[in-house]
Amino acid sequence: MTSSPRTLYQKIWDDHVVKTLDDGTALIFIDRHLIHEVTTPQAFEALRLAGRKLRRPDLTLAVPDHNVPTTARVLNGVRLPIVDPMSKAQLEALVTNCAEFGVELYSIDAPEQGIVHVIGPEQGFTLPGVTMVCGDSHTATHGAFGALAFGIGTSEVEHVFATQTLLLRQSKAMEVRVTGTLGFSVSAKDVALAVCGALGSGGGAGYVIEYTGPVIEALSMEGRMTLCNMAIEAGARAGLVAPDQKTFDYVQGRPRAPKGDAWDKALAWWQTLKTDAGAVYDRVIEIDGSAIAPLVTWGTSPEDVVPITGTVPDPMSFADPSKQAAAAKSLDYMGLTPGTRMADVSVENIFIGSCTNSRIEDLRVAAAVVQGRKLAGNVRQALVVPGSGLVKRQAEAEGLDRIFIEAGFEWREPGCSMCLGMNPDQVPAGERCASTSNRNFVGRQGPGSRTHLLSPAMAAAAAVTGRLADVRELMG
Ligand SMILES: CC(C)[C@H](C(=O)O)[C@@H](O)C(=O)O
Ligand code: SF4
């Protein structure tokens, strides 16, 4: 019997259906559950009130990241207090809840602590072919391994805690094919932004995106994580890249990856995880990777992208009247005038970090630009925040911390940091930030903050020039 050709998404879905219901939804088994301090307190409390236990604590892994301070956490052997009461309460709740319900936790002091989407892959918790959830929209990151990974809300966190399943409606499958080869100093982040620009922030709604084509195949695992991380910014449920030899090499030997016979068995299955010839996607879009320039955002949605060689757009240049209005509002918030060259926009804050771009390759690329240079005089705050303790130590072993510190950057402890205004790292109102994170929403980096999303290389170029700058001119 021959089965009909299936997409990668369909294969992972089929493999996890516990029961299909009459209304078209299905109960899906969840292989991996990552948790952090922000979206779990009510879910744990609900279990407690119902007298329930966690169904599979062994498939659950916890780490604090959003609220943790990124400045020194201990001074002369004494723990420094967490000032914000809400942050403090959430961080403490994670510790007590994990102890009570038997969930393994990388504590704030653990060498492995970091951003949930950085530590999952790093520890080999993220594997090809698994279903993986977290109460966090950027769970899509793990799709880089060919895992079906997506963000869920707090009530779904509770459902997974109690049952290790979720009731889901299947998404449609979209292929985003990126052809050609990336140009000099063009990175996975530029591809991610290009996809947001091409699809728009709602264009992926109802879909799981599979990224294919020569550009994707050529990306490193870290680049694929950067790309999948932003699938949600195009509105998609998840992003996926079919696992290949690079994936297997990355996973092999990680602390939580299968070993011995279990590895051989897993590998044999993982090698089947690709879209079959003849399988049909519900939608296909193609992007010419060779034509992508280093991109920056001008507005308050990740779809608001323009090449660094471009100018601030005129709101009236958009065909859609609602986009015209949104663009005018964005420009007002961003304090930008149509026609201004992007490379003439000065920035006072630099943020290199977040689950999009805080891995070792990101730090290496940024350090290569910064090396032998200094922060521009108008830059008042420049943070490098490694994605995990392991990334931090690796960077220090390579001397990257020295390069940043000598240039005038602050070298911080791992966490979400200035990606969002939930901890002390914030962009002052009315100031701009060149940021390697994934969201430029109104107030995202603090009330009144103005965010320009870009790649690590471009953030480094902004740091040393004090404006949005074309990294190709610095490095060419
Ligand atoms: C705090 C958390 C729920 C949120 C998310 O879901 O994405 C955060 O990580 C973000 O990036 O905005
Ligand atoms: S780094 Fe930013 S985007 Fe990623 S999980 Fe933290 S807050 Fe969300």
Phi and psi, residue 49, nearest 5°? -65, -35
Average pLDDT score over residue span 387-394: 98
Amino acid at the residue 272? T
Q: Is the CB of 222 under 6 A from ligand 1?
A: no
Average pLDDT score over residue span 174-202: 98
Binding residues: 355, 416, 419
Average pLDDT score over residue span 431-447: 98
The two three-digit tokens of residue 200, written as one number: 């728009």
Phi and psi, residue 453, nearest 5°? -80, 140
Task: Judge whether 12 and 28 are in contact, CB under 8 Å.
Answer: no
> Across the chain, what does the average pLDDT equal?
97
Average pLDDT score over residue span 152-156: 98
Q: Of all protein residues, whose CA lies closest to atom 4 belonging to ligand 1? A: 136
- Check whether 259 has a pLDDT greater than 80: yes
Report the share of the chain in percent with pLDDT over 90: 97
Task: Judge whether 104 and 119 are in contact, CB under 8 Å.
Answer: no
Task: Judge whether 361 and 372 are in contact, CB under 8 Å.
Answer: no
pLDDT of residue 422: 87
User: What does the alpha-carbon distance between residue 74 and residue 461 come to, in Å, rounded to a whole number?
Assistant: 33
Name the nearest CA neighbour of 293 among 208, 193, 190: 190
Task: Judge whether 65 and 36 are in contact, CB under 8 Å.
Answer: yes
Neighbours of 77 (CB within 10 A): 5
Among 40, 94, 155, 420, which is best to mutate for testing ligand 1, by the most ligand atoms less than 8 A from CB? 420
pLDDT of residue 421: 84
- Check whether 1 has a pLDDT greater than 60: no
pLDDT of residue 2: 60
pTM over 0.90, yes/no = yes
Q: How close is the Cα of 421 to the center of ligand 2, in Å?
A: 10
- Phi-psi category of residue 139: left, alpha or beta, with phi > 0 → left and psi -120 to 50 → alpha: alpha
Report the share of the chain in percent with pLDDT over 70: 100
The two three-digit tokens of residue 238, written as one number: 């998840």
User: 184-213 as b/e, with b when 16 or more CB fall inside 10 Å?
Assistant: ebbbbbbbbbbbbbebbbebbeebbbbbbb
The ipTM of this complex is 0.99
Average pLDDT score over residue span 85-93: 96
Ligand index nearest the alpha carbon of residue 37: 1
User: In the chain, what are the domains?
Assistant: 8-168 (3.30.499.10), 171-242+258-291 (3.40.1060.10), 296-475 (3.30.499.10)
Alpha helices by DSSP H, 428-470: 456-465
Average pLDDT score over residue span 223-238: 98
User: What does the alpha-carbon distance between residue 37 and residue 107 come to, in Å, rounded to a whole number?
Assistant: 11
- Bridge-based pairing of strands 25-29 and 32-35 is unpaired
Per-position DSSP letters for 47-58, written without gaps between them: HHHHT---S-GG
pLDDT of residue 230: 98
Measured between its terminal Cα atoms, the distance across the chain in Å is 57
In which band, very low, low, confident or very high, does the pLDDT at 3 lie, cut at 50, 70 and 90? confident
pLDDT of residue 476: 80
Q: How close is the Cα of 471 to the center of ligand 1, in Å?
A: 29
Q: Is the CB of 417 under 6 A from ligand 1?
A: no
User: What does the alpha-carbon distance between residue 386 and residue 412 come to, in Å, rounded to a whole number?
Assistant: 7
Task: Judge whether 408 and 381 are in contact, CB under 8 Å.
Answer: no
- Phi-psi category of residue 345: left, alpha or beta, with phi > 0 → left and psi -120 to 50 → alpha: beta
pLDDT tens sequence across 398-416: 999 999 999 999 999 999 9
Amino acid at the residue 69? P
pLDDT tens sequence across 327-376: 999 999 999 999 999 999 999 999 999 999 999 999 999 999 999 999 99
Q: How close is the Cα of 451 to the center of ligand 2, in Å?
A: 15
The two three-digit tokens of residue 185, written as one number: 């100093």
Helices 41-50/85-101 angle, 10° precision: 40
Q: How close is the Cα of 339 to the center of ligand 2, in Å?
A: 32
Q: Is the CB of 136 under 6 A from ligand 1?
A: yes
Task: Judge whether 166 and 19 are in contact, CB under 8 Å.
Answer: no
